[in-house]
Amino acid sequence: MKSFVDDFYHLVSLLKRREPFAFNRFSDGELFILQNKEVLLGDNVVKIGDKVMKGHYRKEDFKHFVPAEHSFYRDRLVEAFRYTAKNYFKGISCRCCAGEEDFRWQLDFHGAHDENFTWANLFLNGNYGRFIREMYPLFNSYRTVIVCNGNSDVTTLPFVCKDFRVGYNAMVNDYGLIETMKRWIDDNGIRGHLFMFSAASFSKMAIHQLYEHCDANTYIDIGTTLNAFTGMRLDRSYLKAFWLGTKHEDIDKLCIW
């Protein structure tokens, strides 16, 4: 039986041993793109496939995936999702958060079972306190590279030695940054570094391609976990509960497989 807590501590142990790995998260946004549905996160509207809802996203969070126009980027996302390698961990949307149908769809779409499957929410919900108290301090022992939105303030992160920036709809608009990062790794002999990604769907393609290019570094999709440090919005329920004291069950939720 897989354990939400045990899987978290497995990655903690790899960090402590300085054993390189990649943790790639395929959350609901990536699920919809893999399902080849149009995804629009805009100023006043959210569209998923044929469903249109009211919503409000800041410009840095804008996203628009159009299946007919962006098949190249979906193909790269599929490659990242189906890639298998030693210590390449893939977090997927769990049945308790995404529902049984979508959970099963991911497994069927992936095909062969991957022993490195884990939760996309592994650092969130009931594990977020563990992430802040037990994983975050480990970053100080690494030379760390962060890939994040141009509006993020990384000066509060003392372990960061290099940053790469993306804008909105980065999976399309900033795709070329992956090759730039590969060249930087090669030109500077980068080994044993920690790369942290907070760049939505761009992160998934970059983590896959960079780990395949150089598996001597560690690549982690941190999502919104460090928003409280970088001046970004605390708009996720787990962030509000932990940092603002807002009552929400997600902060105690241990996701199931």
pLDDT at 140 over 80: yes
pLDDT-derived band at 109 (thresholds 50, 70, 90) equals very high
pLDDT at 56 over 70: no
Residues 6 or more apart in contact with residue 114 via CB below 8 angstroms:
84, 90
The predicted pLDDT at position 11 comes to: 99
Q: Mean pLDDT for the chain?
A: 96
The predicted pLDDT at position 159 comes to: 98
For range 174-188, the mean pLDDT: 99
pLDDT at 117 over 70: yes
The predicted pLDDT at position 17 comes to: 98
pLDDT-derived band at 112 (thresholds 50, 70, 90) equals confident
The predicted pLDDT at position 33 comes to: 98
pLDDT-derived band at 67 (thresholds 50, 70, 90) equals very high
Q: What is the pTM of this model?
A: 0.96
The predicted pLDDT at position 251 comes to: 97
The predicted pLDDT at position 57 comes to: 73
State pLDDT tens for residues 206-247: 999 999 999 999 999 999 999 999 999 999 999 999 999 999
pLDDT at 172 over 90: yes
pLDDT at 126 over 80: yes
pLDDT at 62 over 90: no
For range 54-77, the mean pLDDT: 89
Closest to 145 (Cα-Cα) out of 131, 134, 132, 157: 157
